[in-house]
């Protein structure tokens, strides 16, 4: 587990140190009981989060050898149970290493920081007002407060309504659901009141939000670099697609951008400034690497550039939204 930019990342490391022994009073357990114990221990390591369904299914399939019905009915002694627990935890840990769970724990701290800094809050309120005032009337209905909260989102410490149903009560309490129109200063004042109450509620009872994002570190690229066969296939595919009498200039750039996912890289998007900057930084270093004239030179150039991606992602991981 690690913490980055206000986020908590569960990468499976804690699961590798979980106690594999059964509770003292239990000497034999069924497979069904063993799964309950496994899930409970994993949840404790994930700060109370439930194991995502796809990870749970993968672990159960691995520990039961694909026959979960028989496994649930089977009785295991302590030694057997310990071995099965080890398989369950290592399966989940390995999966989380490749695709960590990223969560944001909202406790009101971030909102209070915005509210305490008058300049930051004034700028935030002004930007929100401008974005929402699409007709440039200089007026907004109180009910637009809800949209302002959505615009802020988890990134600024505001939980979604689906995870924070009390938000409706807070909005109604401050009469922030009516059609009464407010100027910018009045709108900012109302927003401040609503945010203050949200912060107070979260301080009393923090909530954990699982973010729909992937985290990209250097680990994926290391696996690709070790997979000579995959790299050769990509190189040959690019040469075949891009040749047709053309110069080799730009092939490496094309390969990286078109096959980013296969290379363990985050998808390039102009909307994700962090990812765009990562690609810009690396591609600007291509220079004479673009002049590779043989397959072997092309392969060496690709490996070199991937190692640069690996180094940057290892020191500064990037997040990318998952497209459902």
Note the pLDDT tens digit of each residue in 164-174: 999 999 999 99
Calpha distance 78→66 (Å, rounded) = 22
Which among 91, 97, 103, 88 is positioned nearest to 13, based on CA atoms?
97
User: Among 43, 38, 40, which residue's Cα sits nearest to residue 90?
Assistant: 38
pLDDT class of 228 with cuts at 50, 70, 90: confident
pLDDT(132) > 90: yes
Task: Identify the pLDDT of residue 5.
Answer: 53
Q: What is the mean pLDDT of the chain?
A: 85
Cα 293 versus chain centre, distance: 39
Domain edges within the chain: 7-105, 108-205, 217-321
Give 108-205's CATH code, choosing from 1.10.238, 2.60.40, 3.30.43, 1.10.405: 1.10.238
pLDDT of residue 324: 38
């Amino acid at each position: 587990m690690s913490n980055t930019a206000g986020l908590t990342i569960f990468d499976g490391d804690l699961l590798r140190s979980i106690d594999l022994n059964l509770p003292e009073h239990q000497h034999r357990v069924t497979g069904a009981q063993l799964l309950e114990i496994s899930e409970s221990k994993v949840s404790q390591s994930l700060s109370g989060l439930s194991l995502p369904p796809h990870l749970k299914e993968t672990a159960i399939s691995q520990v039961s050898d694909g026959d979960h019905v028989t496994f649930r009915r089977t009785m295991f002694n302590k030694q057997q149970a310990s071995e099965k627990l080890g398989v369950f935890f290592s399966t989940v840990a390995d999966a989380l290493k490749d695709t960590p769970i990223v969560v944001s724990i909202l406790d009101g701290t971030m909102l209070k920081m915005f509210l305490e800094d008058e300049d930051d809050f004034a700028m935030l309120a002004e930007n929100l007002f401008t974005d929402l005032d699409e007709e440039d009337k200089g007026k907004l209905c109180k009910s637009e407060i809800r949209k302002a909260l959505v615009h802020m989102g988890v990134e600024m410490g505001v939980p979604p309504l689906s995870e924070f149903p009390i938000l409706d009560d807070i909005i109604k309490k401050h009469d922030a659901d009516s059609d009464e129109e407010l100027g910018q200063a009045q709108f900012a004042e109302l927003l401040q009141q609503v945010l203050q109450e949200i912060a107070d509620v979260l301080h009393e009872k923090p909530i954990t939000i699982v973010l729909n994002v992937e985290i990209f570190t250097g680990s994926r690229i290391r696996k690709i670099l070790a997979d000579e066969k995959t790299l050769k296939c990509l190189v040959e595919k690019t040469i075949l697609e891009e040749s047709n009498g053309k110069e080799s200039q730009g092939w490496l750039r094309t390969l990286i951008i078109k096959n980013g996912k296969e290379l363990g890289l985050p998808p390039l998007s102009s909307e994700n400034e962090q990812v765009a900057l990562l690609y810009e930084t690396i591609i600007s270093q291509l220079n004479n690497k673009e002049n590779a004239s043989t397959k072997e030179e092309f392969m060496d150039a690709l490996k070199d550039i991937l190692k640069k991606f690996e180094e940057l992602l290892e020191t500064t991981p990037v997040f990318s939204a998952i497209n459902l």
